Structure 1
């Protein structure tokens, strides 16, 4: 009688939560690319899937829309019970991205799926590089989206942040559904900072249609229409300055403090 070894059908799956950075494939990490290559199926918001499509061509792709993050997290965990799944999240998955909700859903459901969060370049850092060095030291990031956080709480945080005198980075600054939150944030900033404070905006950082704007807090409202949901807004701190040469403005610098210790 032939005896065959028993085969287990309990194949162990895995879920990668992949931060894709600003979207340009030159700025996605090798580890993220490796995870996408290993995945049998890739799931995510259509915007971010389109940005990485050249490296996931031929794979099963599941598209999800904004506002369906909980459903997306649950589905990814279910699929990953016996398959290798990658969920893409723009920027860094742990900064206003999908990592938090996936881990929350896994915790509440008792999921035992192996999860690995793979970091990416968050929008504040990619956009900052386009401005020079506005975030050389301490800084604060605050999202102006009130979909999950009450506007009153956002305003409280903004007031405390601008009192600190460090640069403040504003995510999700302006959309058609909430066009006035950015004006509110700038009004709070002007309570604590002089009108000469540098303000920088980068739109579509490292993507097609990239643009940047450098202005001041006092003049910013004249340019507010430049800002949309594809933008990141930087409000400088007490020491932030516009970096200029003899012919034009070149960017924004927030000194870290070397000038207080060294002569250069």
Structure 2
């Protein structure tokens, strides 16, 4: 049996009961090197590999799962930019015939929404700015469509040390809509969501653009951005997107 386990942001408080049970009962844990520190407490054999080794890591987990119970760990939710889909693909392609069970976990967008207030309380889209697996033109098309449709937008992997173009072009798209619609979109910025060193800022797209260098020093790959829609507002210092109850039932 292969359990594909989402462990949330990493802190124990965010592990689901289902994930805890699976990691306590499996024979082997397979994960990215950076996640090892979050699963060492289960006192299991752990196999790790680094960034860009996803194919090798999942294939190893499937091979081992033919004879034992294995937990393949993803940060956040294993089905949201995680390894669940790859596990199914390789299981079929390489004829492993392993039974796969996916265990849900808290993704960054949900955790960040609670930290910021309630910005995802209406329709929203989640887009990763990492163009390692997705062409930049596709990413920017999706960003454009989300902002055009006035959805709240959660942005993963916004800015790497050497990967700045996707972020800069995304900011440009949002800023252009801001000018055309005369809306200073509210922007939530959360670093290390759900971890001990979690922190956040709430600003606007105009302020971000006007202080771009400062914000680019702050934002990194452990940051999630939440861009509000035309109705998002600040209430008691928190970022809130109304669902519409007040206007519907008053």
Q: TM-score normalized by structure 2?
A: 0.94
Q: CA deviation at 1:224?
A: 2.8
Partner of 1:212: 200
Separation (CA, whole Å) in 1 of partners of 2:168 and 2:37: 32
Which sits farther off after the overlay, 129-138 or 187-196? 187-196
Q: How does 1:152-191 map to 2 (within 5 A)?
A: 152-191=137-176
The answer to whether the 8 A contact 1:77-1:106 is kept is yes
Summarize deviations over 1:178-223 as a string: whole Å, max 9, x none.
0232121111112223452100010011212211010001111322
Give 3-state SS (helix, strand or coil) of 1:242's partner: strand
Separation (CA, whole Å) in 2 of partners of 1:97 and 1:142: 14
Q: How does 1:27-46 map to 2 (within 5 A)?
A: 27-46=14-33
Aligned residue pairs total 243
Partner of 2:6: 19
Report runs of 4+ in structure 1 exceeding 6 Å deviation: none
Unaligned runs of at least 5 residues, structure 1: 1-13
Unaligned runs of at least 5 residues, structure 2: none
Q: How does 1:120-131 map to 2 (within 5 A)?
A: 120-131=105-116
Q: CA deviation at 1:65?
A: 0.7
Aligned Cα root-mean-square deviation (Å): 1.1
Higher helix share: 2
Partner of 1:11: none
Of residues 28, 47, 65, the one that matches 2:34 is 47
Separation (CA, whole Å) in 1 of partners of 2:192 and 2:183: 26
Bigger Rg over Cα: 1
Confirm whether residue 83 of structure 1 aligns to residue 75 of structure 2. no
Of residues 203, 223, 231, the one that matches 2:223 is 231
